A and B are shown apart, each in its own frame.
Chain A
Amino acid sequence: MNVRKTDIGCPDYKQFLPPMILKNYGQWDWHEVIKPGVFVHQAESGDRLYTVRVGSPRLLNVKSLRFFTDVADKYCDGFLRFTSRSNVEFMTPVFENIDPMIAMLQSEGWPVGGTANSASNVIHTQGWVHCHTSATDASGLVKCVMDDLYDDFTNHSLPGRMKLAVACCLNMCGAVHASDIAILGIHRRPPKVDPHNLANYCEVPTTIAACPTGAIRADILDGQKTLKINESQCMYCGACYTACPKLPIADSVNDGLSIWVGGKCANARSTPRFTKMVVPFIPNNPPRWPEVVEAVRTIVDVYKAHGKPWERLADMIDRIGWARFFKLTGFEFTKYHIDDYKLATKSYNASTHLRF
């Protein structure tokens, strides 16, 4: 144990900054998007740094990463960075490097884009690739949606920025609760209690406390401690399964997705806000999830047709109202759309402001 290194923390970022960034750190003057995927930052010194942004599936193998390092070595003084949306950025002080660099990246299938009013990369989660509580697959959904939105990634084709997210269950790892369009994996049946030896696998009080609606009670079966679920009170969130492996909830037939819109994090114009549900359920339909792709496309098309410059989807809906948004998208409005949790009445329309 003597030679074991611990608590060394992350490496110092300064050693990974390109020379021009080190020189002009904290002294940038302005920036401009030159074309989709490419922008320039000018420092107070007059230095200019060009950035090329590339879309990535986030799940990357070492071969792809090594290819990125080759691009960085050839054009970017041996440095690169990743963005908070899992895109890759290549930075160069040499304007003439931009086009050959883009050609090198595109020759291996990497798309250039994701800037300004484009649909940028989808924040997403592990899905069936690595997670035990997933109600859908994240990587597959993202691939299908982005194949369809490809031209909106590589062009500035939208009224404003569009941020998408996928979460494979309502733990909502990532940004589903605050994105313009979000796809959320959901269950529709209560967990099945496996009472055999339950108390040896699960902490009973922790599991009871995990339930947002108080649907779980302690129970005794054949003299052994176990749990009982009041099924009429359960809305299938799966939080109890996270706490207790004896409550499996995954269900091939009833698991699927819901679609949410109108969230944002930035403070520009309007305050940050949560996404709201617009499609309560679409069945899982791998490998191409055509119904999901179609619903996302419908939303994007309505946004393109009716959004004003700079408006995020949330801003557009503020302006036109939810009634008109549902009319324009053709989504059916059902009882499932009406909130019935805690502060639900805050979302009721207590006015005569109506759009017919």
Chain B
Amino acid sequence: MSNQAHSSSETPLLDELLKGRWPSFVKEMKEMADTKPMVRDVLRQLEKSYVDKKTHWKHGGIVGVKGYGGGIIGRYSDSPDEFPGAAHFHTVRVNQPAGWFYSSQALRDLCDIFEKYGSGLTNMHGSTGDIILLGTTTDELEPIFSALTEKGWDLGGSGSALRTPSCCVGPARCEWAMFDCLDLCHDITHHYQDEIHRPAFPYKFKIKVSGCPNDCVSAIARADFSVIGTWKDHIQVNQAAMQEYVAKGRNPIKDAVLLCPTKAIDWDGKEIKIDNENCVRCMQCINAYPKALKPGKERGATILIGAKAPIVQGALFSSVLVPFMELEKPYDDLKELLEKLWDVWDDHGENKERIGELVERMGKGEFLERIGIKPDIQMVIHPRENPYVFYDEYYEEVDEK
């Protein structure tokens, strides 16, 4: 770096974060600052935040590309005179390929585009899954969009829209994928392009797809609509493989029997026995012994809805809506369910009300009735504990004759 000495003196606090063993984001930024005045000013502004202990980005910012209502997060410096390069520093969300797989050529194309039209800084990836191109100006948004679409990339979601769906690595490299998570994620993304690009919902809506209950994309915590793979029949047991594990010193009592949440698995020193009717498919025994224990063959997914962060009414996990659904292309059952949910949410959701909060306000029973799904004991941890019941049915006096 030719101007190392110069830039060091500009950011003494951030320079402390060049030290240490974990890869440094300051190094990533400094390397771009050499050629991008924009990044140098953003670094100087960040240094000021480290001194002042507060952000120096102005509130909000509404920018975008023609034809879309989302995909770009506008950002402006609150001190543009002091940091002219940081005056505009918008983020472009680019829809990642399912499972975050790339060819090096595709990744180089993205690098070339963003080095030409923006800061050359990225987030790989945003929490929802998008490729984040971190920092460009309003004038460059249309040119970036053209260059991206030319190479086969489209924008992801933002605002009160369907956000970019994401999925775990699935059948591409996991023996526990209960359905084709990548295909489902890809299919939904393409089927609902309009819902992603043109916000039409009361608030944001996220879909995440995990191949098994290990939930490697945290669908249950981070998606309004959580698709989590499961199976209906028996765990497949290979007793010989289990004995090999034991011969190598593993202890099924410690790694499975004592940890089973429903005491459904047993080991008598020779054989694994599983009470599959009482198994809740938590994955612990399978996680511990992947060569000996495998999920069943009757496969599909549990659909759960409503997860969200605290604002406004408190954080929620998704809860069971459909205990088991088979997932075969073209996923008509799943799409029908999604569209039914969106209809009810459109009709009844208030401004900025996540679907989980609508279910809370409306009551899950009432919500189920409106989307046409029968109540199922698996939807609750336990039946209600209070007697404050709204009854639909009652007798008029005349009925008693």
Chain A residues with a Cβ under 8 A of chain B: 1, 4-13, 15-17, 21, 25-26, 28-32, 41, 49, 51, 55-66, 68-70, 72-73, 78-84, 86, 88, 91, 109-111, 123, 125, 127-134, 137, 139-140, 142-144, 146-147, 150, 153, 170-178, 206, 209-212, 237, 239, 241-242, 245, 248, 250-253, 255, 263, 265-270, 272, 274, 284, 286-288, 309-310, 341-343
Contact = CB atoms under 8 A, between A and B. Distances in A.
Given A4-B146, A10-B189, A171-B309, 10 more contacts: A4-B66, A26-B177, A62-B115, A84-B218, A128-B50, A129-B42, A147-B20, A175-B222, A209-B312, A211-B312
B180 A56 contact: no
Contacts of B100: 81-84
A132 B17 CA distance: 22
A50 B222 CA distance: 30
A127 B222 CA distance: 19
B380 interface: no
Contacts, number: 353
A8 B154 CA distance: 6
B214 A268 contact: yes
Nearest to A51: B173
Contacts of A147: 19-22
Contact of B315 (A57, A239, A248, A274): A274
Interface in B134-186: 134-135, 146, 149-150, 152-154, 164, 166, 168-169, 171-175, 177, 180, 182, 186
15 contacts: A6-B68, A9-B154, A16-B97, A29-B291, A61-B28, A62-B114, A63-B31, A63-B32, A128-B55, A140-B50, A212-B312, A265-B220, A265-B221, A268-B283, A272-B220
Nearest to A21: B172
B309 A172 contact: yes
B152 A11 contact: yes
B259 interface: yes
Give the size category of B's interface with A: 35 or more
Interface string B8-37: 000001101101111111101101100000
Interface in B33-84: 42, 46, 49-50, 52-60, 66-68, 73, 75
Given A206-B351, A268-B213, A268-B287, A130 B91 contact: yes
Nearest to A132: B57
Contacts of A173: 127, 309
Contact of A132 (B21, B75, B217, B311): B75
Contact of B221 (A58, A177, A310, A343): A177
B102 A80 contact: yes
Nearest to A249: B54
A203 B260 CA distance: 52
Interface of B: 13-14, 16-17, 19-26, 28-29, 31-32, 42, 46, 49-50, 52-60, 66-68, 73, 75, 89, 91, 95-108, 110-111, 114-115, 120-125, 127, 134-135, 146, 149-150, 152-154, 164, 166, 168-169, 171-175, 177, 180, 182, 186, 189-190, 193-194, 197, 213-222, 254-255, 259-261, 280-284, 287-288, 290-291, 309-315, 317, 350-352
Given A55-B22, A146-B22, A62 B122 contact: yes
B173 A49 contact: yes
Given A59-B28, A177-B315, A267 B55 contact: no
A262 to B, nearest CB: 13
Contacts of B197: 6-7
Contacts of A132: 55, 57-60, 75
A248 B32 CA distance: 31
A180 B213 CA distance: 18
Closest 4 CB pairs of A and B: A69-B104, A147-B20, A245-B59, A26-B171
Contacts of B314: 212, 341-343
Contact of B23 (A41, A110, A128, A267): A110
Contact of A79 (B46, B102, B125, B127): B102
Given A21-B173, A250-B54, A287-B13, A130 B75 contact: yes
A253 B171 CA distance: 50
Given A150-B22, A341-B314, A130 B57 contact: yes
Contacts of A127: 55
A111 B101 CA distance: 20
A206 B16 CA distance: 42
Contacts of B127: 123, 125, 173-175
Q: Which of A62, A80, A343 has the most CB atoms of chain B within a 10 A radius of its CB?
A: A62
Given A82-B125, A84-B216, A178-B218, A172 B310 contact: yes
B294 to A, nearest CB: 8
A248 B182 CA distance: 42
A177 B127 CA distance: 13
B302 to A, nearest CB: 10
B16 A73 contact: no
Nearest to A63: B31
Contacts of B110: 65
Q: Which of B100, B105, B154, B168 has the most CB atoms of chain A within a 10 A radius of its CB?
A: B100
Contact of B103 (A78, A131, A242): A78
B175 A41 contact: yes
Contacts of B114: 62
Q: Which of A41, A82, A176, A255 has the most CB atoms of chain B within a 10 A radius of its CB?
A: A82
Contacts of B194: 7
Given A59-B121, A210-B352, A80 B104 contact: yes
Contacts of A140: 17, 25, 50
B23 A56 contact: yes
A80 to B, nearest CB: 6
